[in-house]
Amino acid sequence: MATIVLSTLNARYIHSAFGLRYLQANMGELESRTEICEFTIHERPIDIAEKLLAKQPAIIGLGVYIWNTVEISQLVAILKQVSPETLIILGGPEISFETEQQQAAQLADYVICGAADLAFAELCHELLAGKRPPQKIIHPLPAKLADIRLPYYLYDAEDVAHRIIYVEASRGCPFKCEFCLSALDKTAKPYDLDLFLSEMDHLHRRGVRHFKFVDRTFNLKVEHSVRIMEFFLERMDEQLFLHFELIPDHLPERLKETIARFPHGQIQFEIGIQSFNPEVQQLISRRQDDAQTAANLRWLREQSPAHIHADLIIGLPGEDEASFAAGFDKLAALNPHEIQVGILKRLRGSPIIRHTDGFAMRYNPLPPYNILSNRDLDFATTQRMGRFARYWDMIANAGRFSHSLPLILGDQPYARFMQLSEWLMQTSGQTHKIALGRLFELVFQAMTEPLAIDTDPAIDTLWLDFQRSGLKGKPNFLPMARYKEETQPAQRQAAGGLSRQARHLP
Q: Which CATH superfamily is domain 4-144 in?
A: Cobalamin-binding domain (3.40.50.280)
Whether the link from the prior residue into 368 is cis, omega within 30° of 0, is yes
Task: Enumerate the CATH 3.80.30.20 domain ranges in the chain, comma separated.
Answer: 164-344
What radius of gyration, in Å, describes the C-alpha atoms of the chain? 24
Each of the 506 residues of the chain gets a pLDDT tens digit; together they read 679 999 999 999 999 999 999 999 999 999 999 999 999 999 999 999 999 999 999 999 999 999 999 999 999 999 999 999 999 999 999 999 999 999 999 999 999 999 999 999 999 999 999 999 999 999 999 899 999 999 999 999 999 999 999 999 999 999 999 999 999 998 899 999 999 999 999 999 999 999 999 999 999 999 999 999 999 999 999 999 999 999 999 999 999 999 999 999 999 999 999 999 999 999 999 999 999 999 999 999 999 999 999 999 999 999 999 999 999 999 999 999 999 999 999 999 999 999 999 999 999 999 999 999 999 999 999 999 999 999 999 999 999 999 999 999 999 999 999 999 999 999 999 999 999 999 999 999 999 999 999 999 999 999 999 999 988 888 887 775 455 544 444 444 333 334 443 445 55
Task: Enumerate the CATH 3.40.50.280 domain ranges in the chain, comma separated.
Answer: 4-144
* pTM of the full structure: 0.93
CATH topology of domain 164-344: pyruvate-formate lyase- activating enzyme (3.80.30)
Q: Is the separation of the CB atoms in 308 and 346 below 8 Å?
A: no
Degrees, nearest 5: CA angle 503-168-88: 105
Which of 116, 130, 133 lies closest to 62, judged by CA?
Answer: 116
Tell me which amino acid residue 416 is.
R
Q: How many residues does the chain have?
A: 506
DSSP letter (8 states) at residue 425:
H
β-partners of residue 340 are: 311
Degrees, nearest 5: CA angle 267-290-300: 20
Buried b (16+ CB within 10 A) or exposed e, 334-366: bebbbbbbebbbbbbbbbbeebeeebebbbeee
Q: 186 by DSSP, 3-state: which?
A: coil
